[in-house]
Amino acid sequence: MQSTRTLVAATLILCTGTATAAEQGPGAARGFETLPSDAIADYQLGGAYNPPARTNVVVRDSTAAPVRGLYNICYVNGFQTQPGIAWPPELLVKNSKGKPLVDPDWPDEHLLDISSEKLRAAVLKRLATTISGCARSGFNAVEFDNLDSFTRSKGALRHEDAVAFATSLVRAAHNVGLAAGQKNTPQLSDRERRRIGFDFAVSEECHRYDECSKYTRFYGDRVINIEYVDDLRGRFADICADAATPRDTVLRDRDLKPAQHGGYHHDHCVEHRSVRQ
């Protein structure tokens, strides 16, 4: 772990800005700027494009560039492998046949083995490079996906393993000047959220599955919610009018296609805010 600590410490020195604490927001005392409470986010994991008007927060993959002048969140697959990136077999959860266990919804992703302190340290050492890369590129924050992979591990991983590893990931993000967001996983308790140290949340379809209060109760307005146009529970205008829906709710196509591609869809509750008043 010494090499990981050296890496993140060095990157922190490189990435620390000159803004005052008042300019940086609530996380400034700890060296990072947290998600603004008036966020109007766009979710661009399917490919980068010019954000719609009024957008002030953009989520992009770690391989993409941030948008100058906006608050940028870096997507990192923190608990499963990123498609196309090879991982050592000893760091992957195995199935009953000794083969890497795949996510049933994403067959090109394997579950990372975080079942022991030693394995968590080894996985973190590799992910620290990606996290530091987000900071060097100019992102403000990171969201760690698939925190709930333990629910798909066939008993190989425990809820407690996920909490322990999430705590390490958030610490690594904070050490390089990035805020860190909880991604999905509404079953986390408030006590676990406090232990982990998340600064905001990114939820997918919290209205569709009636889970929004599980995020907003803890994070308030610092919740980005993505609903998908192919599986809404009612009209989007009515969803935005629902008091339980996070104010920062964006409606996207399921494949998150760039604006110039067929099938692209984008709407935001900010456009329907008068309905909620």
Tell me the pLDDT tens digit for each residue of 47-93. Answer: 999 999 999 999 999 999 999 999 999 999 999 999 989 999 999 99
Residues 6+ apart with CB under 8 A from 200: 34, 35, 141, 179, 181, 182, 219, 222, 223, 224
CA distance 151 to 153: 6
What backbone torsions phi and psi does residue 160 show, to the nearest 5 degrees? -65, -35
pLDDT of residue 273: 74
**For residue 44, pLDDT beyond 70:** yes
| Beta bridge pairs of residue 266 | 252
User: What pTM, to 2 d.p., does this model score?
Assistant: 0.88
**For residue 25, pLDDT beyond 80:** no
Sign, Cα dihedral of 192, 114, 181, 179: positive
Residue corresponding to tokens 């002048």: 69
CA distance 44 to 75: 10
Question: What letter represents residue 166's amino acid?
Answer: A
Look at residue 113 and give its three-state secondary structure.
coil
Per-residue DSSP letter, 30? G
Task: Please tell me the number of Cα atoms within 13 Å of 106 on its side-chain side.
Answer: 16
> What digits encode the pLDDT tens for the residues 91-113?
999 999 999 999 999 999 999 99
DSSP-derived pairing of the beta strands 106-110 and 102-103: antiparallel
Residue 69 class from Cβ within 10 Å (0-12 exposed, 13-18 middle, 19+ buried)?
exposed
Split at pLDDT 50, 70, 90, the class of 168 is very high
- Give all strands of the β-sheet with 200-204 in edge-to-edge order: 41-43, 57-61, 71-76, 141-144, 179-183, 200-204, 223-228, 248-252, 266-268
29 or 19, greater pLDDT: 29
Strands (E), 126-241: 141-144, 179-183, 200-204, 223-228
Residue corresponding to tokens 């997918």: 204
**For residue 11, pLDDT beyond 60:** no
pLDDT over 70 percentage in the chain: 88
Helix, strand, coil share of the chain (percent; to 5): 35, 20, 45
